[in-house]
Amino acid sequence: MAASFSSMLIIPSSKISYEASLGGLSFHNFLTAKSPPLKRNQKSIKVVTRDNHSPLVDDLMIEVQEHEHEHATLHQKDLSEMWRQIHGEKNWEGLLEPMDPLLRSEVIRYGELAQACHDAFDYEPFSRFEEEKFFSSLGMTHHGYKVTRYIHLTANTDFLLKWLIHSKWPTAMGSKVNWGGYVAVSNDDTSRCLGRRDIVIAWRGTTTHLEGEKDLRSSLTPVSSKGIPCHDDGVKVDNGFLDMYTGKDETSEYCQHSARDHVLREVKRLMDMYSEEEVSITVTGHSLGSALAILSAYDIVEKGLDRGVPVSVMSFSGPAVGNKSFHKRLKKLGIKVLRVINANDWVPWFSLWLPPFQYYHVGVELKLDNNKSPFLKHDVDCAHNLEVLLHLLDGYHGERGEFMLASDRDHALVNKGGDFLKESYLVPPNWWQDENKGLKRSSDGRWVQPERTIEVDGYP
């Protein structure tokens, strides 16, 4: 029969129809590159073609059944029973090659919680959303968490060009202050599914010029020099990351206390609140946020605020944070770190090449490669993008496995803040934006930036 025909895949649960012309494309590539993936609770997929009895359709149905098998396995597993392994209890041994479907799902979820920091930040000193509306404003209520505190970062600089580097709205919170992330906790329903109450700390990646200048600093300093309780002065971390984590701004009512103060105070409060429950602490972040995630996880355990509960870091595209002694100390404290990186991203390796050549990565590495995805252009700029990394996670089936999307995660998200999808997918670049770019019409009919107010009460 002819090698080309029109096919319609109908997914009853999502009520979405996708139409594609196969041309000379193999059925495997057609399934992975064109068809919407099966949902976890979906039992079947209906294939409507001009010839339902053709060998090509039979081949397609085999691919569908194989694709469905992974989701059936995932559905059968009980996260409430496996969460300690997924959280890194055994350093993810046997879960990465090939990729365990439940682990994949959980790592993507924490990546989305980190991505939320980027989506909510609008280059002003704070998130555009109120804490109680954070996840609903981003369409993420299905994650089952509620934000309990925002984190604000203070970045100081003694560079002569510091006048170039400041918050967009310095009168609001201070010239060196920006919104840095949040602390959240799983709700009751989600906690039952997870098998524990999960406290999440999510850190935003580099956005402002000042933060970029901090990223490029390459000097190591003892963690104890900034008040983190460590009796070994040989345990050192990058000075720029440490300064941002512990920095304060006496001129700002929001950052008279450091990001560290905000995080530690909130973790203590939540640990007290859920002292009768089984609890985990998961810290996540992308790029700069990854470095701050590792540093804050270390601080929480070194200070004893974890009270023996599992503490894990889901790191995305992160640089090395400290020296070999920091690496050893982190391991001794039992902190589990899964570092997800893109093989073509220079950020995870940059600090290793800088003097004093004493930086060490921590934890277990999961290396992905954007060149393996049939969805993506060959564009080096995509290598450090978090949405691209989550897309690669979705298609990863082991180092030697073939790329095939495994969940219902929309590949259009790749172009949320970039132009990385091939043109044939018809997804416009940089499509994630607020209605009217955030401007609101005032009572006199003018379009203005709305007033932003944040309650100071409750900050340490």
**How far is it, in rounded angstroms, from Cα 141 to Cα 143?**
5
Among residues 258, 287, 290, 296, which one is catalytic?
287
Among residues 384, 394, 407, 411, which one is catalytic?
384
Q: What is the dihedral of CA 419, 214, 160, 158, to 10 degrees?
A: 160
Burial (CB count <10 Å: 0-12, 13-18, 19+), residue 25: middle
**How far is it, in rounded angstroms, from Cα 292 to Cα 283?**
9
How far, CA to CA in Å, does 12 sit from each of 9, 15, 411? 10, 5, 20
Apex 89 CA angle, 85 and 91, nearest 5: 95
Among residues 345, 351, 373, 391, which one is catalytic?
345
Cis preceding linkage at 428, omega within 30: no
Asked about 100 being catalytic, the answer comes back as: no
| 395 in Cβ contact with 405 (< 8 Å) | yes
**How far is it, in rounded angstroms, from Cα 7 to Cα 23?**
11
Apex 245 CA angle, 104 and 248, nearest 5: 150
Nearest Cα to Cα of residue 68 among 404, 416, 354, 415? 404
Asked about 384 being catalytic, the answer comes back as: yes
Phi and psi, residue 254, nearest 5°: -90, -30
The residues annotated as belonging to the active site are: 287, 345, 384
